[in-house]
Amino acid sequence: MKGLAYLFILILLVGSVGAVKVVREGTYSGGELRIKIGISNDFDVEKEFIIYEQLKGEFIGGEPSYCLGANNICYMKWHTKIPTGKIKVINYEVKPYFTGQYDSAPTKVEVNNKSYYSEPFAINVDCILDGICGSGENYLNCRDCSYGMEDGVCDFQVGICDLDCENDSDCEYPELSFFRRLKDWFLGLFR
Ligand SMILES: [Ca+2]
Ligand SMILES: [Ca+2]
């Protein structure tokens, strides 16, 4: 709700010119990107709006509206009516294809044979949930990375060798590590 209130304030601040304002914001967490698009109707009557949104990942909860070009870039297209003086917020989630910068072209909104645009959008993506602890991912930022993986983070756990840790005795004596795990498993049977 806090984000939404912020979005409305942003619309009011941005919106001193023209009859339509388009604002977009996104938050990224745990492999999924949540995006909000806010559109205000400052015409004096209700209008029908068409919204075009570029996707740079897998749209969650359905299929893209259409895809174009050799690079197969996909888009969402929504139709919506907005009463006069009201703001409509469209929420959607997307799973980015790659780590690094996620950027998409400005949101395009058509009404009355005119087009209105948001600012371009960019956010840093550090985790893709695909079951692989990949480049840029680690135990702290991605559930794909678990204890003991060589991910640049020393997530020390007794009984598991993490090569990122200095002086991890589980790495020095792998056979001891094996017996510790065996002992833990055995004791676990009686818990
Ligand atoms: Ca991954
Ligand atoms: Ca590690």
| pLDDT tens for each residue of 4-21 | 566 555 555 554 445 899
Q: Which residue(s) pair with 109 in the sheet?
A: 51, 116
Average pLDDT over residues 101-122: 94
pLDDT at 166: 86
What's the number of CA atoms in the CB half-sphere (13 Å) around residue 102? Answer: 27
Average pLDDT over residues 174-179: 61
pLDDT surpassing 90 at residue 40: yes
pLDDT surpassing 60 at residue 2: no
pLDDT at 17: 47
Interval between CA 33 and ligand 1 midpoint (Å):
15
CATH topology assigned to domain 2-125: Immunoglobulin-like (2.60.40)
Which ligand sits nearest to residue 171's alpha carbon? 2
Tell the residue number behind the tokens 């003086």, with chain if given. 85
What does the domain layout of the chain look like in residue ranges?
A: 2-125, 146-191
CB 112 within 8 A of CB 91: no
The pTM assigned to this predicted structure is: 0.72
Interval between CA 134 and ligand 2 midpoint (Å):
12
Which protein residues have a CB closer than 5 Å to ligand 1 (ion)?
A: 128, 130, 132, 134, 144
pLDDT surpassing 50 at residue 100: yes
What is the C-alpha to C-alpha distance for residues 82 and 73, in angstroms, rounded to an integer?
28
Interval between CA 123 and ligand 2 midpoint (Å):
26
CB 147 within 8 A of CB 156: no
The answer for residues whose C-beta is within 8 angstroms of residue 179's C-beta and 6 or more apart is none
Interval between CA 141 and ligand 1 midpoint (Å):
10
pLDDT tens for residues 62-77? 999 999 988 889 999 9
